[in-house]
Amino acid sequence: MNNQKEYILQGLACASCAGKIETSVKKIHGVKEASLDFVSCNLKLELKSPDLQENIEQEIKRIVNNLEPHVQVVDRGANDNKAQVNEKNSINKGRLIKLGGGMLLYLVALLDLFNPSVNLGLFVASYFLIGGEIVLQAVKNIGRGQVFDENFLMTLATIGAFAIQEYPEAVGVMLFYQIGELLQDRAVDNSRNSIQKLLNIKPDVAWVKREGDFAKVTPEEVEVGDIIMVKPGERVPLDGEVIQGSSFLDTSALTGESVPRRATVGDNICSGYINTSSVLYLNVTNNFSNSSISKILRLMEEASRKKAPTEKFITKFARYYTPAVVLIALGVALLPPVLLQESFAKWIYRSLIFLVVSCPCALVISIPLSYFGGIGKAAKQGILVKGGSYLETLNSVKTIVFDKTGTLTKGAFQVISVTPEPDITEEQLLEYAALVESYSNHPIAQAILRSCNKQLDSTQIDNLEELPGLGVKGTWQGKQILAGNMKLLEMSGINGKEPQLVGTAVHVALDNKYLGHIVIADSLKEDSVSAVAKLKELGHKIIILSGDKQQAAEEIGSKLQVDQVYAELLPQDKVTMVERLIQSQDKGKLIFVGDGINDAPALARADIGISMGGVGSDAAVEASDIVLMNDEPSKLVELFNTAGMTRKIVWQNIYFSLGVKAAVMLLGAGGMATMWEAVFADVGVALLAVLNSMRIIKSKSGD
């Protein structure tokens, strides 16, 4: 049975409340783990037993209702409609009517048309129309032992202003606080919508062939082997092979590539692409849960739960910041009047300023939005970042280690030389190699198969074994065939001959007799040279680790002008080398960039593993922390730019928020700031911080 459960909290606009909800849900009996992502409003649970689900759901609703009564808890499995995430329940008509009525009474009271008692009544009436919900929520929270929240602080500050007869300021502060909250909620909603639009790549329908005609169904209903039709303008719903038609595809949602890609019969295309010109018919190769688009959406959802160190620090900081400021406010209210024999009213007013600015909402809201905005921006560029922590770590990277084949080179090998021994022909040498390579999907094996013109009966091969980093071996008509590098021959005690040409050499032996070698050459990707040059300009050290021959690897390294090249490495050797490079660094982090299943261990061991999503193996994509969907090394430059901009915005928000709050508190303590400035330092700063966080989402590629 499934122990995972997800809920959408519709209308959740308070980041501080989101943290409290997560903490409370974790304490529910039967909940093993809980994670609430404020950006997506997604509450994900791991239950100890699915039998407890109903009781747990009721308890969650009770917790949410106590903290945020207007928020609705929706079972995502029962109603998987992401558009509901951003439903603006917090900005309802009733709330606006009360706010408008309160504003009207407040303006009448400010005109001072009546006697003091009537004016006071108008101020009190306007206060409760504008801030009654806040006062009521503060009282409820105090009853539950939840004291230091924004409702309590605003209530205490404004009632304190009433106590010292600052009636206009008491109501005005509550009024502008409420207006600021409305604007802040709207800004948060817009930010969430912007992020969701970047990730809104899930196909809605599929046209599947049923009894000779095409029926409209959901992608989840289609099975492997079904025939589907994709009309112009529609998003490809599932991975498949084109069996009829030819068209151009918009791949930008997955790869960030703006140039349309042509697809014709025999081509494999991914779900999530948009068909732009002609009807295509596909043979489905993956069901929806295993399709490219589903994997990407799962990665993006998991990304928001891997919080960056700065984000975690701000969460902890917020727990202590508010109580600390309240204690300082208490000291400001009591100590100067006692020690300096001054008016209590004056110092109580100044202490109220501390209460208004003590809520850390600007940081608690804007920091997660900044990181998820960075993740969304990277996704738009065709880069999947699996968490904000990796986005932050990128700013500390000093060394970038590349695999060679399929990462810096195209991996599109071609046979450039066939050198048999005197007693064998070129055709025979190619045939022996092709027989044992016939079941392999490795680019080298495919190059050999393309060069062998003879029709082969691969069923004659027995005991076929692929040896990672070495080659393959198998039995043919009772004789053992070896095809691989020189290390493979040496392990079997066979003497081979080194080729004269630079390239990857595949040596072939039959029953321990050396037959000759085949040289296969690869070529650099179009953007590899420029990518490495730009990465070096950014101050990174570039290293190549390759399983290829030293001469072939060094030739590629020379063309790219990298700092170091290590060749003839087995998968375990790459891991050892990555560990050695990490230990040798005085400071800074190390990235490993690879594509094949052989690279998975090194990807997992590096500080950050980056895989090529297009040609990369599933193992490499799973082991990596970041995926480049279009396999272009130049995407790394865009990735570093996005990471740098995200860090810049995060620290701008931190410095700005804390700086303004500290300045207003100091000015308030000195009698040079009023509660009006305090309101700006609270909701005004939060609003500006949220708007600043949105800059990364709105920025153009390359900014």
Contact predicate 698/390, CB 8 Å: no
Q: CA 653 to CA 689: how far, in whole Å?
A: 6
Residue with tokens 């070129």: 426
Cα–Cα separations (whole angstroms), residue 14 to 87, 136, 510, 530, 693: 14, 17, 71, 45, 16
Q: CA 500 to CA 519: how far, in whole Å?
A: 9
* Six-digit token string for 81: 């409609």
Contact predicate 627/614, CB 8 Å: no
Does residue 627 sit in helix, strand or coil?
strand
* Six-digit token string for 394: 């990128």
Contact predicate 141/147, CB 8 Å: yes
Q: What is the CA radius of gyration of the chain?
A: 32
- Chain centroid to Cα 424, Å, comes to 55
Cα–Cα separations (whole angstroms), residue 21 to 16, 64, 473: 9, 7, 58
- Chain centroid to Cα 240, Å, comes to 26
Does residue 680 sit in helix, strand or coil?
helix
- Chain centroid to Cα 528, Å, comes to 25
Q: Which of 36, 65, 56, 61 is nearest to 140 (CA)?
A: 65
What residues contact 666, with CB distance under 8 A and at least 6 apart? none
Q: Which amino acid is at 630?
A: N
Question: What is the strand order of the sheet 274-275 is part of?
Answer: 261-263, 247-250, 274-275
Q: Is 602 exposed, middle or buried (0-12, 13-18, 19+ CB in 10 A)?
A: buried
Count of all residues that appear for the chain in the document: 703
610-615 long-range contacts, CB within 8 A, separation 24+: 610/636, 612/406, 612/407, 613/384, 614/255, 615/406, 615/411
Q: Which amino acid is at 104?
A: L
Q: CA 559 to CA 550: how far, in whole Å?
A: 14
* Six-digit token string for 197: 């639009």
Let me know the angle formed at the C-alpha of 108 by 103 and 114, rounded to the nearest 5 degrees: 150
What residues contact 23, with CB distance under 8 A and at least 6 apart? none
Contact predicate 282/228, CB 8 Å: yes
In DSSP terms, which residues pair with 517 in a beta bridge?
A: 419, 507
Q: Which value, to the nearest 10 degrees, does the dihedral of the CA atoms of residues 181, 187, 189, 193 take?
A: 180
What DSSP letter does each residue of 376-445 carry, written as one string? HHHHHTTEEE--HHHHHHGGGEEEEEEESTTTTB----EEEEEEE-TTS-HHHHHHHHHHHHTT--SHHH
* Six-digit token string for 588: 């800074």
Q: Give yes or no: 403 in active site.
A: yes
State the catalytic residue, choosing from 37, 185, 403, 625: 403
Q: How do strand 608-612 and strand 626-628 relate by DSSP bridges?
A: parallel
Contact predicate 123/114, CB 8 Å: no
Contact predicate 308/389, CB 8 Å: yes
**Which residues are known catalytic residues?**
403
